[in-house]
Amino acid sequence: MKLVRHGAKGAERPGLLDKQGRVRDLSGVSDDITPEVLDPGKLADLARLHFEDLPVAPMPNRLGVPIASVSKLVCIGLNYKDHAKEANLPIPQEPIIFLKAVSALSGPNDDVVLPRGSKKGDWEVELGIVIGKQATYVSESEALEYVAGYTIVNDVSERAYQIERGGQWTKGKSFDTFAPVGPWLVTKDEIPQPQSLGIWLDVNCERRQTGNTNDMIFSVERLVSYLSEFMTLMPGDIVCTGTPAGVGLGMNPPQFLCPGDTMRLGVDGLGEQQQRVLAYDPLV
């Protein structure tokens, strides 16, 4: 299944995508796509619905973050060898973990707003793992049992905030709108091989990133197991698995986002996102 949340920001309704690519409204079945809905039994109940009996949502229709009430965004840094190389950093021996504020969450096609005074806004297309069951001390062999599905995350970054202002990376990653997620949550039965997905991103119609999840240093199973040693992963949590080479910081010379730019990005089987880049406006 491909689960969505559609409608105006703050008033999204639950839905799913039918075989014709239309959004079917789930409001008569569920109040929202909450963490509780990601329980394997409840997902199985949804899969048994006759999708053609559900009302079609009106078009055009904004898509929101496909999961409501996300408790945390856990991110993995330098998880592709080519990205570590372009950053002139050593290959990690263990996953590099940082957190991204949930206030950064936004819909897959919502505008990305650069913070006040931003000079080094950057892009990062990533596979997102959506947790379906509470996970603590999970083995790698069992890890996929705790995954509800997958989505796309654009881990938008402000490199000056991230690198040049001391401390950890979180403040360069957490400005409002810096975590577009979606368009869908694709349940794991539709993605049996998460380590063989093409992944790409364009800026202003020019390809910047091209990669494949088989180039990840730490696999989906490894990441879920590893993270569960240090924190309890909760249903609805999103794990951002890192980005391939081609970020603006790694270009020669570096290139960064400017107001008016457009980002378009996708992952095989998970759809596409597109965002317009805006300058911060305190009156909006």
pLDDT of residue 58: 85
pLDDT of residue 84: 87
The pLDDT of residue 284 is above 80: no
**DSSP 3-state of 204:** coil
Q: Rounded CA gap, 103 and 171, in Å?
A: 12
The 10s digit of each residue's pLDDT in 170-214 is 999 999 999 999 999 999 999 999 999 999 999 999 999 999 999
The pLDDT of residue 74 is above 90: yes
The 10s digit of each residue's pLDDT in 119-169 is 999 999 999 999 999 999 999 999 999 999 999 999 999 999 999 988 889
The 10s digit of each residue's pLDDT in 76-109 is 999 999 898 888 889 999 999 999 999 999 999 9
pLDDT of residue 228: 98
Domains of the chain (ranges; CATH) run 65-279 (3.90.850.10)
Q: What is the rounded end-to-end Cα distance, in angstroms, of the chain?
A: 36
